[in-house]
Chain A
């Protein structure tokens, strides 16, 4: 009977539950997608490139599960607060506490169950889409990849059921302790009068100071290293909270003090609403600002990472192709693209050493990046006589780098001997030729590099002992790029979906918080309507009020992102690459939530037309 009543109560609060569902469903779908991409066993064994992405998605799963736990906890307490009065009534008509607690638990689990079904379906579709896009981007086939992967389904279900069981049990304990009178009264609560801010100037100064420290730490992360890594999040977080707590009430107060504006139309009501709302929401808003920074940061970080795969590969490889014993097929490919520089070296291998010709090296020293000055240079000529110490020839650091660039596949396997031509001619062993080629733009000829790698695959087994074409990859710029690009694409998708999931959950918390205050507002809007305020005016007042509420955390959150992206300079070259795209995506989602909130709010507080 109680269950039946509760089901009815649930129906009445449909709207609130719908918001909860969206957050939960998106989270489940993304969680499942991450798990499928990281757990597909046969798929891992099949593909070496994919191995790298999977770790990325596993990290994403962990991050998502932490945030999801807090989200579930918060939403569960919100659910309870929605139903408190109803539970009080059940108790009043004689339901036992135990029955009520059971109803609450069943409700929570049922919600999670329904979300799981929808979320998993969405997750499967999402995995299909993302794997397809990744497949096209990386130019590889996803053989053996299962979109419906039972272990991933299993872990997703387990995680969400256990988490919601834990959170609902905690709230259940709380429900056991609360008295019936408290339950019944819970809906009648007046907004607290906003306090006059104490030491506001000092607080604002402190907030700005902390934020400045945080920003400096973010900006100079490269130099500050560990100090920065700790200072930046702590100072930025504290600064955000202090600033919101001190600054928001001051802004509204200042605004209200402008009487000409305040006493125009419905402005005094709008600012009054804001005054109360901002002071009751300041903690939540500061939290939202930080989470916006995280989610927009995740999206932007993923974007920048993807771009970085192109720029950073050029840092390490000056030559786009390194070909061992190239045949006619390889040369034909090289001829088909505008090569800026092409170098050829000879090499002999015996049981002990790799021999290179001193005169050839000095005649055409390859371009390298100097590890000290970080400039692209050609190494100075080698001396005629090279000292030998501990069995190795001593060469300059620049030549050490150059030798690796010339012979990336075999360089580390044997000791290298750079010898004059006469000595080289006398050496035993088969001669191998190496061709280095450089174009103006590596990324413009990806297909050709891929073709060259495929051709080299036939040569490597004879060249490198124990080379297995099935699992090993050739030592070329393109091969490294492929791996790097796979990780970057993985990071891009992870960042995007992590950001999306964070954003959905955060925005739904903000919506909850605002909408739970809406019941108090019904009376206010009704009074205004009776006093003769046009509906249009009320709607505008509402939109403006919520705009400001959404605006503050949005601005500060984005500011954090603008400064924070700089942090990535020590792992990538252009963290700000196409930042506007990420910002636009973020704004579209956040804006969508704003309009949706307005729509729901209007439905609550304004009478039907």
Chain B
């Protein structure tokens, strides 16, 4: 299997010179193979969103190197990073981040428009991905007219249309009810298993995490442990809950300083 993401001893420190520094990510390394569905978990303030933003090239590294699909993104300038994101990455956010002044169709088409693809190609791709996600009949609506689940599907369609190397999801079920969340996660699993889409997802929800093929637990900016599913999804869920309980106990004991 090809390695599509490699984080090598990355660190992120906030705070200017002379002020108190805060280390969000501390000398962290991990690898991701093509077709993996990795979940990142950890308590609030553990640095999981910072990690995702660094992988997403939105937040520059203080130290270390990130390589995506063999390309090092650490040394790129702003424009190069923009282009890299628009071609190689797909994003799903908790609050969907759909552009509410554009129709569903326009939202989904945007990544291809930005690459100046031909209109025919754009139209056929949008129809294809929209029907794959079951939103083929609402493409002329505006986001304000959609339900939460429909919005998230639109966001996924937009994240997938340009066939990115890596799909990044930040709490994708955070704004959904349990029914819609389950449907969404099933969709992600389908995409992962059938279309071999590699997914990196940050979540604090153990239920969502149980859909992943590998879990990384972050604590105090460091990789605390890894977890692989062994039995059924429910068993995996229980296992995750146990780990989280374990992680939570330590700060209560007052070790964190």
Q: Which of B85, B100, B145 contacts A530 (CB 8 A)?
A: B85
The answer, among A190, A259, A269, A529, for a CB contact under 8 Å with B102, is A269
The answer to whether B99 has its CB under 8 Å from any CB of chain A is yes
User: Which of these, A190, A263, A531, A535, contacts B100 with CB under 8 Å?
Assistant: A190
- Interface digits, A252-274 against B, CB 8 Å rule (1 contact, 0 not)? 00000001101111111100110
Is A534's CB under 8 angstroms from B101's CB?
no
Q: Is A272's CB under 8 angstroms from B114's CB? A: no
Chain A neighbourhood of B91, CB < 8 A: 530-531
* Max chain A Cβ within 10 angstroms of own Cβ: one of B83, B91, B106, B111: B106
Smallest distance from the beta carbon of A279 to chain B beta carbons, Å? 10
Do A532 and B100 have beta carbons less than 8 Å apart? no
**A532 with B109: in contact, given A263-B122, A269-B102 (CB under 8 Å)?**
no
**In the complex the two chains form, is A264's CB within 8 Å of B111's CB?**
no
Contact A523 B97 (CB under 8 A): yes
- Among B74-89, those with CB < 8 Å from A are 78-79, 81-87, 89
Q: Please judge, given known A-B contacts A531-B114, A533-B86, whether A268 and B102 are in contact too, CB under 8 Å.
A: yes
Known interface pairs A263-B122, A265-B114. Does A532 touch B87 (Cβ–Cβ under 8 Å)? yes
CB of B119 within 8 A of CB of A260, answer yes
Contact bitstring B105-139, A, C-beta under 8 A = 1, else 0: 01001111110100100110000000000000000
User: B145, A531: Cβ atoms under 8 Å?
Assistant: no
Which of B56, B102, B111 is close to A272, meaning CB atoms less than 8 Å apart? Answer: B102
Interface of A is mostly: helix
Q: Verify if A544 is at the interface (C-beta below 8 Å from B).
A: no
Report B126 CB to chain A, min CB distance, Å. 9
CA of A267 to CA of B119 in the docked complex: distance in angstroms? Answer: 13
Taking the complex as formed, is B71 at the interface, i.e. its CB lies under 8 A from any CB of chain A? no
B129 nearest CB across to chain A (Å): 15
Q: Mark interface residues in A497-533 (1 if CB within 8 Å of B CB, else 0).
A: 0000000000000000000000000011011111111
A274-300 residues with Cβ-Cβ distance < 8 A to B are: 275-276
Q: In whole angstroms, what is the CA distance A193 to B89 when docked?
A: 30
**In the bound complex, what is the Cα–Cα distance between A496 and B100 (angstroms)?**
43
Q: Which one of B81, B87, B93, B109 contacts A263 once the chains associate, using CB atoms below 8 Å?
A: B109
Q: Could you tell me if A528 and B56 are in contact, using CB atoms closer than 8 angstroms? A: no
Contact between A531 and B79, CB atoms less than 8 A apart: no
Known: A190-B100, A272-B99, A275-B101. A531 touches B111 (CB 8 A): yes
B242 proximity list for chain A (CB < 8 A):
none
The list of the 9 closest CB pairs from A to B, nearest first, reads: A532-B86, A532-B85, A272-B101, A272-B102, A527-B97, A268-B106, A534-B82, A276-B101, A263-B113
Which residues of A does B touch, CB under 8 Å? 190-191, 193, 259-260, 262-269, 272-273, 275-276, 523-524, 526-537, 609
* Residues in B lying within 8 Å of A, measured CB to CB: 56, 58, 78-79, 81-87, 89, 91, 93, 97-103, 106, 109-114, 116, 119, 122-123, 142, 144-145, 158
Given contacts A259-B119, A272-B99, A523-B97, 19 further A-B contacts (CB under 8 A): A193-B142, A193-B144, A263-B109, A265-B113, A265-B114, A266-B113, A528-B99, A529-B58, A529-B82, A531-B91, A531-B114, A532-B83, A532-B84, A532-B111, A533-B86, A534-B83, A535-B82, A536-B79, A537-B114
